[in-house]
Structure 1
Amino acid sequence: MTPAQRKNFNRLLRPRQIAFIGGTDAGVAINEAQRRGYAGEIWPVNPKRAEMAGLPCFASLDDLPGTPDAIFVAVPANAAIDVIAKAAAMGVGGVVCYAAGFREAGDGGVKREEALLEAAGDMALIGPNCYGMINYLDGAALWPFAHGGSCPGYGAAVITQSGMFSSDITMSQRSLPLTHMISAGNQTVLGMEDFVDVLCEIPAVRAIGLHIEGLQDVARFERMALKALSHNTPIVAMKTGRSAIGSALTQSHTGSLSGANELYDALFERCGVIAVDSPSQFIETLKYLCIAGAPKGNRVAGFTCSGGGAAMLADHSETINLSYPAFDADAKKILEGLLPDIATVSNPLDYTTPIWGQPERTLPVFTEAIARAGVDAAILVQDYPAQGLDETKHFYLADAEAFGEAAKQAGVPAAICSTIHENMDADTRAALMAAGIAPMQGIHEALNAISHGRDWAQAHARIVAADPAPLLSAPMPDEIEMISEAEGKDLLRAAGLSVPQGVLVNGAGAPGAAEKLGYPVVLKMMGPKLAHKTEAGAVKLGLGDAAAVQAAVCAMIDAVQAYDADAVTDDFLVEQMVARPVVEMIVGIRRDAQFGLAMTIGSGGILVELLADAETLLLPASADDIKRAISRLKLFKLLNGFRGNPVVDLDRLSQTLAALGNYAMDHARTVAEIEINPLFVYHDGVRAVDALIHRIKP
């Protein structure tokens, strides 16, 4: 976004005048601006109509009484280009281009979109192929369909790449406070990153929600996500297009690149972006962050008026690393004095029905329990009665008020959640919000939101302190070639990794080389067509004498001949057998046109396909980043001394892998891909047993 576009985007967000250009859709958009309470001037433009939405029409932009801050364009694509060019020449600030038929429509649409980009000049343009923008804070809307949503003076700014999903969010019955809604469309001029750049600076924006089909500029997204982090503004992202079908639909919808799922996950982890996978979780997480705020840790105080509800809290929390600290003896004694005899003092706490709805009794229970458990967050489960059956509702609200007061006194985020999503009516949600309590709908969604908030708070502290280096750009090479394993191991040695002692010889020299190295040895045939030596029969392990080596040479030639006659060579790598490791890992470094260099680490050897246990990081990555990724692997328990195994020095392992990543970045012009499988991991170091490396052809 240029300085001029930024200035014009601010005009678009808070326009003093809006010109609505088109027919029926433009008329609906005028009605929606009025629904939103827009207090500025509205200028309908249509040469064939005398009036639109009850307002007199102007025949063209030339006839307007002044230059509008914003225009809404709902005419066919070719006409839209002409209108936008005229608006740019007039000095209009910003435009919502509702018109479709651009990049998403194929080759002809691509040319139209190029013309649109040129026509826009310095204007801030949202779209094309989008619904537009709603500013709930300032009462402005350029939006062509009926919409809902409200703003209590703060809330979430939501940016989506699907117009219908953005509309659905405004209509949701979940009381998500909103400050802005932007349907980004094709992002010809302004992209998701530009919106984040501006919106994260607005104090009333307490969180930003992103529905992402694909990113156009990953490096810029990283910079803007880190900027939002520095402004204490959490980002919640729902990435769609993760399946093969979803990816194809994404590309046909807006022409966006979907990208590999694990690379998006790595990007979000790197930037402290909260990733969710469902619309309800998207809304509930944003709601919790906006109203309650992010908890600093994972210690929770849970309350129910039902033993079953307490068990539900505990069960799901265990799977997402939320803990319920037990009460010590002194706390138990105090709580026992406050609770009925039938109550059992525990966390989560079922405070039982004899004191239900009596704030003079429940307030001390909530207050003592929250304070004495030393928690980071508090949650109360309440399912409210349906309309017409709500003669007892005041009892629920009395406990809710007492719970909110206790959490406020302790200074911890508070949430009240219904077990069943719809069991919390709009009036109750509004009352809870006014008290600073997040009205959450669904136990799992509520607990997940607390967990997400906790993760964000910890990521915020870590990332802001670390000030990570920017992503490395790594253009895709025109052509790559595989280097031999022997040559590849020389490269790994230069990168600081240990490799088995070995020598490259012809078949006749293999027995002599083995004698010098010492038995047992490994024999491998080298060749440009032997990337997967095991499948070709091109590797033999545990050879104990010269005769075995010679026999292995002959057998290997026959096996490779049967596999692929053109793959047979007379080049053999003879290596010392290495000791059995604590674990086998796989380490890979590859490049992506969007994301640059990425490192993948995981369970290696035969477990690669069996466990699918891997984590991906974008480079550069620090040793601490890699250590955290390792801790998320299923393999981590084995590294950490599982069932008497030696404990691996994780710091040394992480530093070694970080050095490998640094080597790949330093040699990004020559090294295309690195795969080490297996990497033998010992308690005090590593050894690269096998390597598949490709270099860029000069």
Structure 2
Amino acid sequence: MTPEQRKNFDRLMSPRHIAFVGGADAIVAIGEARRRGFTGEFWPVNPKRAELAGIPCYASIDDLPQAPDAVFLAVPVTAALETIAKLSAMGAGGVVCYSAGFKESGADGAEAENRLKTAVGDMALIGPNCYGVINYLDNTALWPFAHGGDSPGYGAAIITQSGMFSSDITMSQRSLPLTHMISAGNQAVMGLEDFIEVLCENPAVRAIGVHIEGLQDIPKFERAALKALRANTPIVALKTGSSAIGSALTISHTGSLSGANELYQALFDRLAVISVTSPSQFLETLKYLCVVGAPAGNKVAGFTCSGGGATMLADHAETIGLDFPACDEDQARALTKLLPAIATVSNPLDYTTPIWGQSELTEPVFATAIAGNDVNSALLLQDYPAPGLDESKFCYQNDAKAFARAAASSGVPAAICATLPENMDAETRALLIENGVAPMQGIHETLNAIAAAAQWRQRAASILENPTSALAPRTISENMVLMDEAKGKSLLADAGLAVPAGQCVSGANAADVAALIGFPVVIKMMGPKLAHKTEAGAVALGLNNVEAVAQALTAMRAAVLTYDKTAVTDCFLVEAMAKPPVAELIVGIRRDPLFGLAMTLGSGGVLVELIGDATTLLLPCGQQDIRAAIASLKGAKLMQGFRGLPVVDFDALASHLADLAAFVQTSDTPIVELEINPLFVYEDKALAVDVLIHTEAGT
């Protein structure tokens, strides 16, 4: 976004006057601006009508009193292009281009969109093919459908790539405070990244929610997300849809383990973007962050007036890493004095019905449990009665207010959660927000939101304290060459990674070389069509003498001939047989045209396909990120002294892999894909047993 576009974006978001260009759709947009409370000037433009929505029309853009700050444009493509060119020439601020028929409609539309980009000049433009923008702070709407939503002067800015989803959010019954709603459409001129960069500067924007179908400029998104991080503005992302993004290669295991979804998740992890998988989780997480902020840790004080509710909280919390710490002896004694005899001191705490609704009795319980246990947040479970059955509602409210006061006195974020999302009415939600409490709907969504917010705070601090170099994707040649394994292992040795002692020979010399290396040995047939040697029968393990070598060569030739007669060669790699490891890993580094280099780590050997235990990091990254990725694997338990196995030095292992990543990033050999499967892991070293490397052709 240029400085001039930035100025014009501000005009578009907070206009003094709006031109509505079109017919029926423009009439609706005028109504929505009125609904929002826009107090500026309305300038309808239509050459065939005397008025729109009761306001006299201008026949042409040329007839407007001055260049409009904002324009809602709803005319066919050809007229839209002409109008945009005129608006640019006269110095208009910005345009919401509701008009469709651009790149989403095919080749002709794509050409029209290119002409739009040229015509727009320094104007800010949202769309085309979008719903537009609502600014809840300044009561401005350029929007083509009925909309809802409110703002108490702060809240979430939402940016979506789906018009209907943005409209649905404004209608939601969840009391999410809003500052802005932007439907991005085709993003011909301004994209998600531009909106993030601007909105995170606004102190009223406490969190940014993005609905992503796909990103086109990953480095630009990275810069915007880091800017938001420095501004202490969390980003919550709902990534939907499948994507064709990914390496042109499908031959490796890691290619299947780190597809588009994994690369997006790696991007979000790298930038402390909170990733969610459902619309309800999207809204609840944003609501928690906007109303009460991110807690300093994962320790929670939980309260219910039901033993069943306490169990529900504890069960899900355990699966997502939230901690309900037990009360210490002093706290337990204090709570015992405050609670009825039938109550059992615990966390989550069922404070029982004998004191329910009596704030003079419940507030000391809440305050003691929160203040005495070094917790980072507090949560009360309450399902409110339905209208017509709510004669006891004041009791719920008494406890809610007591809980709010107790949490405020300890300075921890507080939330009240309805077990069932619909069991919290609008009046209650408003009351809770007024009292500084997040009105949350759904147990799992609430606990997930608290956990995600706590993790965001910790991850954000780590990223800002230990910044890494920016992502650097580049164009990848479609022509790639498979490097033979011997050369690949030589390359790994140059990178400082240990490989088995070995030598490439003809079949006639294999036995002699095997004896020289020392039995037992491994023999592999080498060839450009033998990427997966095991499947072709091109591997023989544990050969203990010369006779075994001869028999293995004969059997291997026959197996490969059956597999593919054109794959048979007389080149064999003879290697020392590695001793059994503590664990096996799969390590892959591949270059993606959008994301750049990505490292995938997983449990190796047969576990690759059996359990798909893998995680992906974008490069460059720090050694500690690699260590954390290793520790996150299910297979990591094998390396932590499982059933008497030796304990692996995770720091040493991470150091080896960090050196490998750095080598690939700086190597004169343009590596497109590298896979080690398996990497044998020992107590303080690692050994690359098998390697698969693709390089760009001509190198």
Q: Please give the range of the TM-score, normalised by the shorter of the 2 chains.
A: over 0.9
* Rounded Cα–Cα distance in structure 2 between residues aligned with 1:426 and 1:672: 55
Match of 2:671? 671
* Rounded Cα–Cα distance in structure 1 between residues aligned with 2:624 and 2:331: 38
Q: Does 1:466 align with 2:466?
A: yes
Match of 1:381? 381
* Rounded Cα–Cα distance in structure 2 between residues aligned with 1:259 and 1:535: 23
Deviations 1:157-180 (A, max 9, x none): 000000000000000000000000
Deviations 1:554-610 (A, max 9, x none): 221121111111111111110000110011110011111110111101011111110
Match of 2:431? 431
Tell me the TM-score normalised to structure 1 length.
0.97
Q: Does 1:651 align with 2:654?
A: no
Whether the 8 Å contact between 2:243 and 2:260 is mirrored in structure 1 is: no
The structural deviation recorded for 1:243 is 8.0
Whether the 8 Å contact between 1:479 and 1:696 is mirrored in structure 2 is: yes
* Rounded Cα–Cα distance in structure 2 between residues aligned with 1:585 and 1:103: 44
AA at the equivalent of 2:517: L
* Rounded Cα–Cα distance in structure 1 between residues aligned with 2:623 and 2:467: 14
Q: Does 1:23 align with 2:23?
A: yes
* Rounded Cα–Cα distance in structure 2 between residues aligned with 1:242 and 1:450: 28
* Rounded Cα–Cα distance in structure 2 between residues aligned with 1:668 and 1:90: 52
Whether the 8 Å contact between 1:214 and 1:259 is mirrored in structure 2 is: no
Deviations 1:453-476 (A, max 9, x none): 011001111001012210122321
User: Which has the higher mean CA deviation after the structures are superposed, 467-476 or 570-579?
Assistant: 467-476
* Rounded Cα–Cα distance in structure 2 between residues aligned with 1:259 and 1:124: 34
The structural deviation recorded for 1:109 is 0.9
Deviations 1:647-670 (A, max 9, x none): 111111111111111111112762
Match of 1:350? 350
Match of 1:639? 639
Whether the 8 Å contact between 2:214 and 2:243 is mirrored in structure 1 is: no
Match of 2:251? none
* Rounded Cα–Cα distance in structure 2 between residues aligned with 1:178 and 1:131: 17
Whether the 8 Å contact between 1:32 and 1:141 is mirrored in structure 2 is: yes
AA at the equivalent of 1:56: P
* Rounded Cα–Cα distance in structure 2 between residues aligned with 1:116 and 1:374: 57
The structural deviation recorded for 1:292 is 1.1
Equivalent residues in 2 for 1:234-245, closer than 5 Å: 234-242=234-242
Deviations 1:500-543 (A, max 9, x none): 00011110110110111110000011111110101111110000
Whether the 8 Å contact between 1:362 and 1:399 is mirrored in structure 2 is: yes
Q: Does 1:546 align with 2:549?
A: no
Q: Does 1:449 align with 2:454?
A: no
Match of 1:628? 628
* Rounded Cα–Cα distance in structure 1 between residues aligned with 2:410 and 2:618: 39
Match of 2:254? none
Whether the 8 Å contact between 1:152 and 1:177 is mirrored in structure 2 is: yes
* Rounded Cα–Cα distance in structure 2 between residues aligned with 1:94 and 1:648: 59
The structural deviation recorded for 1:242 is 3.6
* Rounded Cα–Cα distance in structure 1 between residues aligned with 2:440 and 2:567: 62
Match of 2:140? 140
Deviations 1:396-438 (A, max 9, x none): 0010000011111111100000011100000000000011100
Tell me the TM-score normalised to structure 2 length.
0.97
* Rounded Cα–Cα distance in structure 1 between residues aligned with 2:273 and 2:393: 38
Q: Does 1:523 align with 2:523?
A: yes
Secondary structure of the 1:378 match is: strand
Q: Does 1:224 align with 2:235?
A: no
Match of 1:608? 608
* Rounded Cα–Cα distance in structure 2 between residues aligned with 1:222 and 1:639: 34
Match of 2:397? 397
Secondary structure of the 1:635 match is: helix
Match of 1:503? 503
* Rounded Cα–Cα distance in structure 1 between residues aligned with 2:78 and 2:667: 47
Whether the 8 Å contact between 2:4 and 2:122 is mirrored in structure 1 is: yes
Match of 1:251? none
AA at the equivalent of 2:513: A
* Rounded Cα–Cα distance in structure 2 between residues aligned with 1:44 and 1:239: 37
* Rounded Cα–Cα distance in structure 1 between residues aligned with 2:600 and 2:499: 20
Secondary structure of the 2:95 match is: strand
Match of 1:694? 694
* Rounded Cα–Cα distance in structure 2 between residues aligned with 1:165 and 1:473: 31
Deviations 1:274-319 (A, max 9, x none): 0000000000000000001101111000000011110110011011
Whether the 8 Å contact between 1:475 and 1:596 is mirrored in structure 2 is: no
User: Which has the higher mean CA deviation after the structures are superposed, 186-195 or 622-631?
Assistant: 622-631
Distance change in 2, residues 1:172/1:669 (3 Å): farther
The structural deviation recorded for 1:264 is 0.2
* Rounded Cα–Cα distance in structure 1 between residues aligned with 2:645 and 2:7: 61
Structure 2: give runs of 5+ residues left out of the alignment.
245-257
Whether the 8 Å contact between 1:598 and 1:618 is mirrored in structure 2 is: yes
Whether the 8 Å contact between 1:474 and 1:668 is mirrored in structure 2 is: no
* Rounded Cα–Cα distance in structure 2 between residues aligned with 1:468 and 1:231: 18
Whether the 8 Å contact between 1:472 and 1:665 is mirrored in structure 2 is: no
* Rounded Cα–Cα distance in structure 1 between residues aligned with 2:564 and 2:306: 69
* Rounded Cα–Cα distance in structure 2 between residues aligned with 1:259 and 1:169: 29
* Rounded Cα–Cα distance in structure 1 between residues aligned with 2:259 and 2:206: 29
Deviations 1:95-138 (A, max 9, x none): 00001111111111111110111111111100000000000001
Distance change in 2, residues 1:669/1:498 (3 Å): closer
AA at the equivalent of 2:105: A
Match of 1:249? none
AA at the equivalent of 2:223: R
Match of 1:103? 103
Match of 1:586? 586
Whether the 8 Å contact between 2:383 and 2:419 is mirrored in structure 1 is: yes
Match of 1:304? 304
Q: Does 1:406 align with 2:406?
A: yes
* Rounded Cα–Cα distance in structure 1 between residues aligned with 2:7 and 2:19: 19
Equivalent residues in 2 for 1:53-452, closer than 5 Å: 53-242=53-242, 260-452=260-452
The structural deviation recorded for 1:49 is 0.8
Structure 1: give runs of 5+ residues left out of the alignment.
245-257
Secondary structure of the 2:125 match is: strand
* Rounded Cα–Cα distance in structure 2 between residues aligned with 1:431 and 1:242: 41
Secondary structure of the 1:241 match is: coil
* Rounded Cα–Cα distance in structure 2 between residues aligned with 1:129 and 1:509: 69
Match of 2:661? 661
**Which portions of structure 1, spanning 4 or more consecutive aligned residues, are displaced by more than 3 angstroms?**
none
Deviations 1:22-77 (A, max 9, x none): 00101110111111111111100001111111111100111111111110100011
AA at the equivalent of 2:135: N
Whether the 8 Å contact between 1:581 and 1:681 is mirrored in structure 2 is: yes
* Rounded Cα–Cα distance in structure 2 between residues aligned with 1:641 and 1:315: 28
Whether the 8 Å contact between 2:473 and 2:592 is mirrored in structure 1 is: no
